C-alpha cells in the first residue's frame, strides 16, 4: 500500500505545477494586454484567456457583426495565426522547472514514478486549459468615431482602425458615425485541448532531457551520455538569447523610447523575434509578405523590405543592403553556437577508453549538429506569423491587411546540421586543449643537490609534514658518532615494528655495590 500511495501523492503534486504555469502565463498575458492598450476594446479577462489558449497552441476564431464592412463572418474565419511566444516561454519555463525540481532528490528515477508524475501533470494541465478555453470568449467593440476622426476622413487616430486613413473615412460615411459594430472571438475547444496536450508533452520531455541533475531510468544511458549534454547546451543558449532580447527591449521601453506599448510588446513577442533572428543569422532564408497597416509592427529594416505588399525573400544580404548593422547578427549567432559547442563538450562525460582529440571533437560536433537540425525547424515553426484577416480581434483592425513570415524548414535543418557540426567540433577542441593544459605539471623539476665528499647529501625525511614549521619546538636530537644529529646511533635498529632485537626491553640498571 505504501508504493501506490506514494505514486498517487507524486501525481497530485505534479498536477499542482500546472496551476503555477497558468498563473504565470495569465499574469504576463494580462500585463501585456494592458500595456498595449488592448483592454480599451475588449474585456481584459476574456482577452487574457484567449491569449493564454493561443500560447499553448490553441486556436481563436473571430465572428460577429462583420456585415457593416461589406463582409460576411465566414470571410474572417481562421484568419489569425500568431502565437504569443512570450506567454508560451514563461509558461514552459515555470511548468518544466517545477515538474523536474522534485525529481532531483531521487537517487534513481523509476519508470512508474516518472509515468505517474507525468500523468498527473498532464491531467491538471488539461483541466485548467479547459477552464481557460471556456472563459476565452468575448467581443471587441470598434469605435468608428475614432476611425473617421469625427467624420472628416482624416488619417490617424487612436482607435484600432486609426491607421487606415481615407479607408476609415469611407467606412464611416457608409455605416454612419454612431454605429459601433462588434467583433467576437471564440476559443475552439477541441483543437485547443488537443494541441495543448502536445504542447505540455513537449515541454515536460524537453525539461526532463535538458535537466542534468535529474536522474533517468535504467536503460536510458545513451540519452544521458549523448543527447542530454547537447540538448541542455542548446536550451541554455536559446534561453540566454531570449533573456538578452527581453532585457534590451525593456530598457528601450523604460527609457522613454517606446513607452508602455514597447514594454507590452516585449512581454508578448520577444521570443517571436528571437526565434526568427537565430535562423536568419544562420543564413536560413525567410519568406515574408505584408500589406496594409500590419506592416508597421515589423522591425526595421524588415518593414522596409516588405512594405510593397508582394512576397519577398528575407535574406541577410538584402537586409544588410538597407542597414549595414545587420552583419552583426551572423557574428552574434556564430558566437552563440560556439558557446553551445563549448557547453556541450564540458557537460559530456569523457569516455572510459582513451580516444584521440579529433575523434572526440568530431563526435561532439555531430551530436550538436543533429540537435540543431531538429531545433532550427522547430523555432521556425513556432515563430511563423500568418495574419490574413479583414478584421482582427485584438486591436489590429484592418480591411484587406495581411502579414505572413515563414522560414524554409529544409534549409533550416541542413544549415543547423552543418553549422552545429562545425562549431561543435571547434568548441570541443577548445575544451580539450584547455583540459590538457590544466593537466600539465605547473612547477619545474627540483634542482639536484650539490655533491659532498661522500656523495650527494640527501635531506632526511621528516616524521610529520608540519615538524619543520618555524616556531615549532623540535625534539632533541642525539648526535651520532660522526657529530651528525641525524645519524643513527650504533647498535641494533630502534624501530619498534621491525621485529628485531629492538623489541626487547632494555636491561634494568645495576644497583650500586653490585
Percentage of the chain beyond pLDDT 70 is: 64
Q: Are strands 312-314 and 385-387 parallel, antiparallel or unpaired?
A: unpaired
Q: What region, left, alpha or beta, does residue 57 occupy, with left being phi > 0 and alpha being psi -120 to 50 degrees?
A: left
Per-residue b or e along 281-291, where b marks 16 or more CB atoms closer than 10 Å to that residue's CB:
bbebbbebbbb
Cell triple for 442 = 605547473
| DSSP string for 67-118 | GGGT--GGGGTT-EE---HHHHHHHHHHHHHHHHTGGGG-SS--HHHHHHHH
How sure is the predictor about 397, in pLDDT bands with cuts at 50, 70 and 90? very low
Each residue's pLDDT tens digit, 490-514: 555 444 434 444 445 555 555 554 4
Q: Are strands 286-291 and 312-314 parallel, antiparallel or unpaired?
A: antiparallel
Each residue's pLDDT tens digit, 13-42: 889 999 999 999 999 999 988 888 877 777
pLDDT value at residue 374: 95
**For the chain, what is the mean pLDDT?**
74
- How many residues comprise the chain? 514
Residues 376, 285 contacting (CB under 8 angstroms): no
| DSSP string for 247-291 | HHHHHHHHTTSSHHHHHHHHHHHHHHHHHHHHHHHTT--EEEEEE
What would the mean pLDDT of 41-68 be, rounded to a whole number?
75
pLDDT value at residue 302: 83
| Distance of alpha carbon 292 from alpha carbon 449, whole angstroms | 89
| Distance of alpha carbon 29 from alpha carbon 144, whole angstroms | 27
pLDDT value at residue 250: 87
What would the mean pLDDT of 436-452 be, rounded to a whole number?
54
Phi, psi of 291 (to 5 degrees): -145, 150
Q: Which of 49-53, 230-234, 462-466 has the lowest mean pLDDT?
A: 462-466
pLDDT value at residue 370: 96
99 Cα distance to chain centroid: 16
Residues 146, 133 contacting (CB under 8 angstroms): no
Residues 22, 132 contacting (CB under 8 angstroms): yes
More confident residue, 181 or 438: 438
Compute how many other C-beta atoms are within 10 angstroms of the C-beta atom of residue 250: 16
442 Cα distance to chain centroid: 38
How sure is the predictor about 459, in pLDDT bands with cuts at 50, 70 and 90? very low
What would the mean pLDDT of 461-474 be, rounded to a whole number?
44
Per-residue b or e along 70-105, where b marks 16 or more CB atoms closer than 10 Å to that residue's CB:
eeebeebeebbbbbbbbbbbbbbbbbbebbbeebee
How sure is the predictor about 466, in pLDDT bands with cuts at 50, 70 and 90? very low
Percentage of the chain beyond pLDDT 90 is: 32
320: Cα within 13 Å, side-chain hemisphere: 13
Phi, psi of 465 (to 5 degrees): -65, -20
Residue 225 DSSP label: I
**Is pTM, for the whole model, over 0.85?**
no
Strands in 154-281 per DSSP E: 182-187
pLDDT value at residue 121: 94
Residues 316, 280 contacting (CB under 8 angstroms): yes
Grouping H, G, I as helix, E, B as strand and the rest as coil, residue 377 is helix
Phi, psi of 60 (to 5 degrees): -125, 130
343 Cα distance to chain centroid: 14
pLDDT value at residue 11: 84
Residues 6+ apart with CB under 8 A from 93: 239
How sure is the predictor about 60, in pLDDT bands with cuts at 50, 70 and 90? confident
CA-derived radius of gyration, the chain: 36
Each residue's pLDDT tens digit, 134-190: 887 766 554 444 333 333 333 333 333 233 233 233 223 333 344 455 556 778 888
Cross-strand bridge partners of residue 183: 64, 140
pLDDT value at residue 393: 43
Each residue's pLDDT tens digit, 302-315: 878 887 667 788 88
Q: What region, left, alpha or beta, does residue 425 occupy, with left being phi > 0 and alpha being psi -120 to 50 degrees?
A: alpha
Q: Which of 251-265, 276-290, 431-445 has the lowest mean pLDDT?
A: 431-445
Phi, psi of 452 (to 5 degrees): -100, -165
55 Cα distance to chain centroid: 16
Residues 6+ apart with CB under 8 A from 26: 48, 49, 52
Residue 62 DSSP label: E
Measured CA distances, 155 to 399, 401, 498 (Å): 15, 16, 107
Domain ranges of the chain: 1-142+181-218, 220-440
| Distance of alpha carbon 386 from alpha carbon 54, whole angstroms | 13
Amino acid at each position: 500500500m505504501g508504493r501506490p500511495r506514494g505514486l498517487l501523492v507524486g501525481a497530485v503534486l505534479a498536477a499542482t505545477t500546472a496551476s503555477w504555469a497558468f498563473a504565470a502565463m495569465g499574469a504576463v498575458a494580462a500585463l501585456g494586454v494592458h500595456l498595449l492598450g488592448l483592454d480599451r476594446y475588449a474585456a481584459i479577462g476574456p482577452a487574457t484567456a484567449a491569449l493564454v489558449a493561443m500560447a499553448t497552441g490553441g486556436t481563436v476564431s473571430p465572428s460577429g457583426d462583420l456585415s457593416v464592412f461589406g463582409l460576411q463572418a465566414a470571410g474572417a474565419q481562421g484568419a489569425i495565426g500568431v502565437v504569443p511566444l512570450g506567454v508560451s516561454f514563461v509558461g514552459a519555463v515555470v511548468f518544466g522547472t517545477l515538474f523536474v525540481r522534485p525529481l532531483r532528490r531521487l537517487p534513481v528515477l523509476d519508470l512508474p514514478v516518472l509515468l505517474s508524475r507525468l500523468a498527473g501533470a498532464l491531467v491538471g494541465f488539461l483541466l485548467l486549459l479547459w477552464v481557460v478555453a471556456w472563459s476565452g470568449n468575448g467581443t471587441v467593440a470598434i469605435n468608428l468615431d475614432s476611425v473617421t476622426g469625427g467624420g472628416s476622413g482624416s488619417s490617424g487616430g487612436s482607435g484600432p482602425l486609426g491607421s487606415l486613413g481615407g479607408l476609415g473615412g469611407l467606412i464611416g460615411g457608409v455605416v454612419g458615425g454612431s454605429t459601433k459594430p462588434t467583433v467576437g472571438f471564440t476559443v475552439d475547444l477541441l483543437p485547443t485541448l488537443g494541441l495543448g496536450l502536445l504542447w505540455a508533452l513537449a515541454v515536460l520531455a524537453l525539461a526532463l532531457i535538458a535537466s542534468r541533475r535529474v536522474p533517468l531510468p535504467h536503460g536510458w544511458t545513451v540519452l544521458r551520455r549523448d543527447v542530454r549534454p547537447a540538448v541542455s547546451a542548446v536550451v541554455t543558449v536559446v534561453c540566454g538569447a531570449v533573456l538578452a532580447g527581453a532585457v534590451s527591449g525593456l530598457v528601450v521601453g523604460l527609457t522613454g523610447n517606446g513607452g508602455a506599448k514597447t514594454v507590452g510588446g516585449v512581454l508578448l513577442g520577444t521570443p517571436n523575434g528571437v526565434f526568427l533572428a537565430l535562423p536568419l543569422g544562420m543564413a536560413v532564408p525567410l519568406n515574408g509578405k505584408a500589406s496594409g497597416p500590419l506592416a508597421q509592427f515589423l522591425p526595421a529594416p524588415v518593414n522596409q523590405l516588405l512594405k510593397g505588399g508582394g512576397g519577398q525573400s528575407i535574406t541577410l544580404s538584402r537586409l544588410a543592403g538597407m542597414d549595414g548593422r545587420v552583419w552583426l547578427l551572423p557574428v552574434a549567432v556564430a558566437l552563440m553556437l560556439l558557446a553551445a559547442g563549448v557547453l556541450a563538450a564540458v557537460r559530456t562525460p569523457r569516455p572510459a577508453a582513451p580516444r584521440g582529440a579529433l575523434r572526440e571533437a568530431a563526435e561532439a560536433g555531430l551530436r550538436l549538429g543533429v540537435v540543431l537540425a531538429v531545433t532550427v525547424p522547430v523555432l521556425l515553426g513556432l515563430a511563423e506569423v500568418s495574419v490574413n484577416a479583414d478584421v482582427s480581434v485584438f486591436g489590429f483592425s484592418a480591411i484587406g491587411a495581411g502579414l505572413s513570415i515563414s522560414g524554409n524548414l529544409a534549409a533550416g535543418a541542413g544549415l543547423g546540421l552543418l553549422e552545429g557540426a562545425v562549431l561543435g567540433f571547434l568548441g570541443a577542441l577548445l575544451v580539450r586543449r584547455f583540459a590538457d593544459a590544466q593537466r600539465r605539471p605547473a612547477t619545474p623539476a627540483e634542482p639536484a643537490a650539490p655533491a659532498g665528499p661522500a656523495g650527494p647529501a640527501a635531506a632526511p625525511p621528516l616524521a610529520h609534514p608540519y615538524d619543520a614549521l618555524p616556531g615549532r619546538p623540535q625534539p632533541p636530537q642525539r648526535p651520532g658518532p660522526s657529530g651528525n644529529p641525524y645519524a643513527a646511533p650504533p647498535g641494533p635498529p630502534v624501530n619498534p615494528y621491525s621485529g628485531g632485537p629492538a623489541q626487547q626491553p632494555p636491561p634494568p640498571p645495576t644497583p650500586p655495590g653490585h
